[in-house]
Amino acid sequence: MCFGKCARCIGYKLLILAFLCIVANILLYFPNGETRFASEHQLSKYVTCLHGIIGGGILIFLPAAVFIGLEHDNCCGCCGHENCGKSCAMLSSVLAAFIGILGSGYCFIISALGLSHGPYCLSAVEQNWVYPFTNASGGYLLERDRWSECREPRNIVEWNLTLFSILLVFGGIELILCSIQVINGFLGGICGVCCNREEVRSNPGEHSVPLFPCHGSSSEAQVQ
C-alpha cells in the first residue's frame, strides 16, 4: 500500500528529528559545556520549558512509531478483507498525527519566543542577571555589536541563537510532516474502504455464504 510506505517514510524522519530535538534542548542547559548555570538557575525560562525534550521529542516518538508500523498493520480486518484492517490503521494514524502536531507546535512556538526574548545573562550595562534584549522583539539578532552586553555565560547569544534556531526549524519540519500524515491517513483510509467495496461488488460469489445462517434453514435442510 503506497499510503503505508509514505507513512513509514514520515515515521523514520520524525524519529531522527525527535532525537535531534532532545539533544539540542539538553545542550541549551549547558552553555559552553558548563553546568554551573543550570545548577544556579541562571538560564532562560524558555530553556526550562523542555520544548525540545517533550514537545519535539517524546510527543513525536509516539506518532513516529505508529507511522512506521502502518505498512504491515492490519488492526481490524473484517470479512476476510485485509484492506479493511489497513484502512482502519490509516485512519487511526490521524489521531497520532494530531499528537505530533501538538508536540511540534509547542516546540516551534517556544523556540520562537526564546529567540525573540533573547538570553538570560549577566548584563554589562545593568550589572545584574536580566533579559537585556527582551524589549527588542528579536531586533537584537541583527545587531551583533550588542551581543557583547551579555558577560556571562560567555557567547550565550550565539549559543542560544544556534540551538533555538535548530529547534525552531526541526519543530517546523515535524509540524509539516505530521500535517502531511493527516492528509495521507485520511486518503489512505478512505481509498482503502472504497477499494474494498469495489472488490466486494466485483466478487459477489465470495460472500454468498451468510455470516449468520438461520437455524430454521439448517433444520429444513436436515429434514430434507
Q: What is the pLDDT of residues 133-168, one digit of tens each?
A: 888 777 888 888 889 889 999 999 999 999 999 999
pTM recorded for the entire structure: 0.78
Output the pLDDT for position 2: 73
pLDDT band at 3, cuts 50/70/90? confident
Q: How far is 74 from 83, CA to CA, in rounded Å? A: 8
Where does residue 92 rank: exposed (0-12), middle (13-18), buried (19+ CB within 10 A)?
middle
Q: What is the pLDDT of residues 64-87, one digit of tens each?
A: 999 998 866 554 444 444 545 566
Residue (of 65, 69, 52, 58) closest to 114 by Cα position:
52
